[in-house]
Structure 1
Amino acid sequence: MKIIDLNEYPTLSGLIDWGIVKSNFAFTNTVDESMVSNVSIIPFSGSKCVIFQIDNGNWELPGGTLEAGEIYIDGLKREVMEELGAELLSYHVFGQFNCVSSAKTPYKSHIPHPNFVRLLGHGEVKIVGEPLNPDDGEKVIAVELVDIDEAIKRFEEIKRYDIAEMYKLAFQIREHNKKKDLLENKSYSE
């Protein structure tokens, strides 16, 4: 049974232009580590979405580029601590961006080029402190826990329809999975 129609997400269902990188989104829950360059998360803390703002005023998508020798889950744990001041409690891959870079050389020498994958998933995080704000990263000025409608609104206000749709999609998948789990648990107890 198909639960999501990607056509309901006009930005994610078409070619996405991130400057020198062009990408297409595809549903998947399998990972080819050799192609992963970046990993992103739509983070939740209980019923709230976690969003963060950088010093230029924009709200951003948590995640980033893997370091040399780093597997994606370790990279995500690092990014979540750096950008949100949070521990990663769970992560569920539901898709990936199949990316092609027009740059002559890779962004970092250890990542796949010109074709690479940016993983996308949702997960639970626990805020444990302030963002680490490493010297080579964005300067985070705010981390907030908000309802899904507020998260979508913040990204749409800055015309980041791609991230707004990622939050909406992750929320829809998460809610579907919670209902599915409840139904399965109910049938096991009967």
Structure 2
Amino acid sequence: MNKNERYANLFQNATWGKIESEFIMEVPHESLISNVNVVPFINNECIVIRLENGEWEIPGGTLEKDENYFATIKRELIEEAGAILHSFEPFGAWKCFSYHAHAYKPHLPHPEFFRLVGYGDVELFSKPQIPDDGEKVVAVEKMSVEEAATKFYETGRPDLAELYKLAEELRNQKLQYSSLR
């Protein structure tokens, strides 16, 4: 069984308002990236954030003007999780097409853009440093990937449940390969 079959909820096409998307196991050209997300790990556990509305979410967000995706994910982790990024390994992206007349922000690619995803090792150092206009994070929790997946399934986000499982699988493969060298 291939990844597309094992993680069918992640790889199925989705519509977010006027945006159509599909998850692909490719890293797009940086000029086409508008957003970035990270599945953060501390040793063998992962981090998930809970928003004010009760939803569980993955840290990440939109690139600011003149910001590259690596700077964005570092900033977003501080803002949403109070975490420092030690490593980032991109492994895929949501390929998106927008039917909106304009980009979300003028500096972002449009109508085609990508939401880059990776996993990384992090360290929690403070409470989230949420800007006034940012999403309100009410909890940052460390747990097993299975526990995180359960929370995502329970709140109607099977795509994120499978994203965390895929990130763990890829991370473990890389760690095993590194230990053989």
TM-score range relative to shorter protein: over 0.9
Distance in 2 of aligned mates of 1:144 and 1:52: 6
Distance, in Å, in 1 between the alignment partners of 2:145 and 2:73 is 22
Q: Which runs of 4+ in 1 moved over 6 A?
A: none
- In structure 2, give the amino acid aligned to 1:7: E
Question: 1:24 is matched with which residue?
Answer: 22
- The 1-side partners of 2:4 and 2:164 are apart by 14
Q: Is the 8 A contact 2:10 2:160 kept in 1?
A: no
Identity of aligned residues (%): 42
Which sections of structure 1, spanning at least 5 residues, go unmatched? 185-190
Q: In structure 1, the residue corresponding to 2:11 is in which secondary structure?
A: coil
Contact conserved, 2:28 with 2:114, CA < 8 A, in 1? no
Q: Report the TM-score, using the length of structure 1 for normalisation.
A: 0.92
Q: Which amino acid aligns with 1:15?
A: N
Letter in 2 for 1:106: A
* Unaligned segments of structure 2, at least 5 residues: none
Q: CA RMSD in A?
A: 1.3
Match of 1:103, SS state, is coil
CA displacement, residues 41-80 of structure 1 (integer Å, 9 cap, x when unaligned): 0000111100110100111111000001100000110000
Structure 1 SS opposite 2:74: helix
Larger radius of gyration: 1
Aligned length: 181
Greater shift, 13-22 or 40-49, is seen at 13-22
Letter paired with 1:100: F
Is residue 2:97 matched to residue 1:97?
no
* Superposition TM-score, scaled by structure 2 size: 0.96
Equivalent position of 1:44 in the other structure: 41
How far has the Cα of 1:108 moved from its partner?
Answer: 0.8
| Counterpart residue number, 1:178 | 175
